[in-house]
Structure 1
Amino acid sequence: MKIVIAPDSFKESLTAKQVCQAIEDGLRRVWPQAEYVQVPVADGGEGTVQSLIDATQGELIELSVTGPLKMPVEAFYGRLGGDNQSTAIIEMAAASGLHHVKSEQRDPKLTTSFGTGELILHALNNGVTKLILGLGGSATNDGGMGMLEALGVRFLDEAQQPIAGNGIGLTQIKTIDISGLDARLANCDIEIACDVDNPLCGEDGATVTFGQQKGASAQDTQLLDQALSHYADLIEQQLGKSVKDIQGAGAAGGLGAAFLGFTSATLKPGIEIVLATLNIDTQLKGSDLVITGEGRIDWQSAHGKTPVGVAKAAKRYDIPVIALAGCLGDNYQEVYDYGIDAVFAAIPRPLDLATAFAEAEINMANLAENVARVWQVSR
């Protein structure tokens, strides 16, 4: 019997690799002779770097970069292992995320994505020829201006003087000079894990949708939305690329637009990028059962999350799929329409959150054992 174990991490509790091991430990109590294939998965958001380096025996690279408020922060990216050693996986939030800015200091007029550019530059300097970037969790609304500045682009004002790469800087740009843009990017395969479809500007754009959580006032929102529109017009006029209305351009405060306007990057759903990188189809062939899961399964799980992504892949081979979760939320039954055959929660009794986190590994192993016993009885 071959079983593929392909869960996401359980946020604040277990990494995807730890979830894999807990599930295998429980299943082995019933099926000690089975073949187990662990595939730690993520959907392109938080935890993607750790999942992919765990799955490929890659390397975590830590370094100090410029944070959203231009103070140094400790960040990281991953270099994949095996046949993918020329691939780097970067979560922009590692350098430019909201968690780097105290709530009382949040101001998207001032925050910059410069540190994300520094991560990319470090990866290029170490021979990387493919970049996978996750865009969630940003503190920025600078249209990727800071990132591009770190990579050699110059943004100039009316007097042809350089402008700071932040939200307010967008309002001052008159000229975009790409002569210094790192030439290696032209030969780099860049995939953007993007699970939002927001355009750059307007009612559904980056600022109106996400600006408030980054500290924008109503006045800031109007200013920054107009600034991004101005920025998009300059990109079209001076670089010949139209980015304003593309779905996903508004991701991470307009970072999606920066990649689309200045590189040959492609935007894809995060789970598709991750599963392709992990070569999930090869892992699934010949399997009898797939176990997936995430910390909480609810109606949102049906929309681009790991369990459904794994289930869709498994159903190409008619493999049964069981999802295990820490807990179940509203309308979790929606996942049944997307290839998941059964869902179970691990919490065995009423628990406070701290205890649930502390017992997660034990409870997940026990749940996996019980699922195996039920499966055995049904056969």
Structure 2
Amino acid sequence: MKFLFASDSFKGTISSARTASLLAEAARDVFPECQWDFVEVADGGEGTVDAVIAAQKGERVWREVSGPLGASVSAFYGRIGKGQAVLEMASASGLPLLNEAERNPLRTSSYGTGELIRAALEDGCLSVAIAIGGSATNDGGMGCLRALGVRFFDGEGCELSGYGEDLERVQTIDCSGFHPLVAKARFTVMCDVTNPLTGPNGATYTFGKQKGADPEMLDRLERGMEHYRQVLENTFGIDVNTIPGTGAAGGLGAALLLFLKAELKSGIETVLDLIHFEERLDGVSVVVTGEGRTDWQSAFGKVVSGVGKRCQKQNIPVIALSGGLGPGAETLYQHGITSMMTTVNGPMALEEALEHAEELYLDAARRMFRMLQIGQNL
């Protein structure tokens, strides 16, 4: 019997790689002669680059770039093979780089993300995948684009810095200084939200509060973003509000789509493609996946459903071993998941479950493999 372990991280407790080592220990206890393999997976959010690097034996490339408030930060992208890069915008422009007191989307910029993209291009990577979750910015991607040579001007002809507060001021856009390698490269954006750029479900009102915006600031940013949307439509002849996902990362999704001609794709589907997941399924009897909590949202671009769908095509059963199950988890049965189990073994507080996460996971894994043993013997 051969197993493939492909779980997401249990955020804050168990990494994707650690789930594999615990599963391997449990599998050997029950099936001493079994074979197993594992692949780190992520859905385009935190850990995406590391998952792809691990699966493809890539490398981290570190660069000093501008953080969300301009101070220098160390960020990295992943280089895979020849000419391919994958990066997380959160590494350069993410919320974790700021404490709560520093969060202010009027003054944050995605400039560092553009610097990281530029670094990958200049290092010879002309196929670039960008995960855009976890941003600290609401600048419509202007900061990122400025790092790549685009210039934004107000009505007086003064060049803008590309902060969130500049959205309401931009009048014209000059792309004549665009970095020449941009035209030669192919960009993929890993985006699992469908929010438009503006409106009640747009970038500002959906994500602005977590980035530090108070109600007054939200209204100002939304007015600015609506103005920016009109400038983009006048420039490109496209209303980005008709395209799902353009509101991701404070409007960076719209910027990458229009200026870089990027393709917006599901994060998990992009990751599974990058790590050549189907090739890992050769000879596999059962796949084990999982995440911290599985519920109805797991069916929409998350690791569990992504893995399930790929295995379903090859008629390989998949077990989801997750920290907990929530409402709508049963919808995963329609997405290739054969069975689901939880790591908790009785009523307990969340804090207790987190504190004993590895112990509970290993115990649940042993129970899961013993159930598989019964099925094998029927």
1:165-184 mapped onto 2 (5 Å cutoff): 165-184=162-181
CA distance in 1, matches of 2:351, 2:121: 41
3-state SS in 2 of match to 1:123: helix
**Aligned length in residues:** 376
Instruction: Give, in whole Å, the separation in 2 of the partners of 1:278 and 1:69.
Output: 34
Shift of 1:353: 5.5
Alpha-carbon distance in structure 1 between the residues aligned to 2:214 and 2:313: 48
The offset of 1:115, in angstroms, is 0.9
Question: Aligned pair 1:376/2:373, yes or no?
Answer: yes
Q: What is the match of residue 158 of structure 1?
A: 155
Pick aligned residue for 1:143 from 140, 162, 168: 140
Distance of 2:350 and 2:119 partners within structure 1: 38
Q: What is the CA-CA distance between 1:169 and the residue it aligns to?
A: 1.1
* Residue 122 (str. 1) matches residue 119 (str. 2): yes
- Paired residue for 1:132? 129
AA at the equivalent of 1:324? L
Residue of structure 1 equivalent to 2:207: 210
Aligned with 1:77: secondary structure? strand
Partner of 1:51: 51
Within a 5 Å distance, the mapping from 1:337-376 to structure 2 comes to 337-348=334-345, 356-357=353-354, 359-376=356-373
**What residue is the counterpart of 2:274 in the other structure?**
277
Give CA deviations for 1:65-112 in whole Å, capped at 9, x if unaligned. 2111112223222222xxx44221111111111222222232211111
2:194 to 193, 197, 201: 197
TM-score relative to the length of structure 2: 0.93
Q: CA deviation at 1:284?
A: 1.8
What is the CA distance between 1:193 and its match in structure 2? 0.7
RMSD over aligned Cα, in angstroms?
A: 1.9
- Aligned-pair distance for 1:243? 2.1
Establish whether residue 255 from structure 1 lines up as the match of residue 252 from structure 2: yes
Q: Report if aligned partners of 1:44, 1:270 keep a CA contact under 8 Å in 2.
A: yes
Aligned match of 2:13: 13
Counterpart among 222, 226, 240 of residue 229 in structure 1: 226
The answer to whether the 8 A contact 1:27-1:365 is kept is no
- Mapped to 2, the partners of 1:153 and 1:118 lie a distance apart of 13
Contact 1:76 / 1:119 at 8 angstroms: preserved in 2?
Answer: yes
| Aligned-partner SS, 1:324 | strand
Matches of 1:87 and 1:135 in 2, distance apart? 17
* Per-residue deviation, 1:241: 4.0
Residue identity (%): 44
Distance 1:209 1:278, change over 3 A: same
Between stretches 282-291 and 341-350, larger displacement belongs to: 341-350
> 2 CA distance for matches of 1:19 and 1:290?
13
Structure 1: 5+ residue stretches without partners: none
How has the CA–CA distance of structure 1 residues 87 and 230 changed in structure 2, closer, same or farther, with 3 Å as cutoff?
same
Q: Secondary structure at the match of 2:194?
A: coil
What is the distance in 2 between the residues matched to 1:358 and 1:322?
24
Does the Cα contact within 8 Å between 2:90 and 2:135 map onto a contact in 1?
yes
For residue 318 of structure 2, what is the aligned residue in structure 1? 321
Structure 2 Cα separation of the partners of residues 335 and 371 of structure 1: 18
Question: Partners of 1:376 and 1:215 in 2: how far apart?
Answer: 51
For residue 60 of structure 1, report the CA deviation from its aligned partner.
Answer: 2.0
Distance in structure 2 (CA, Å) of the matches to 1:360 and 1:65: 36
Q: Is the 8 A contact 1:193 1:273 kept in 2?
A: yes
Could you tell which deviates more after superposition, 236-245 or 266-275?
Answer: 236-245
* 1:66 equivalent in alignment to 2:63: no
- Matched letter for residue 48 of structure 2: T
What's the TM-score once normalised by structure 1's chain length? Answer: 0.93
Structure 1 position 37 matched with structure 2 position 37: yes
Paired residues for 1:275-314 under 5 Å: 275-314=272-311
SS at match of 2:157: coil
Contact 2:203 2:247 in 1 (8 A): yes
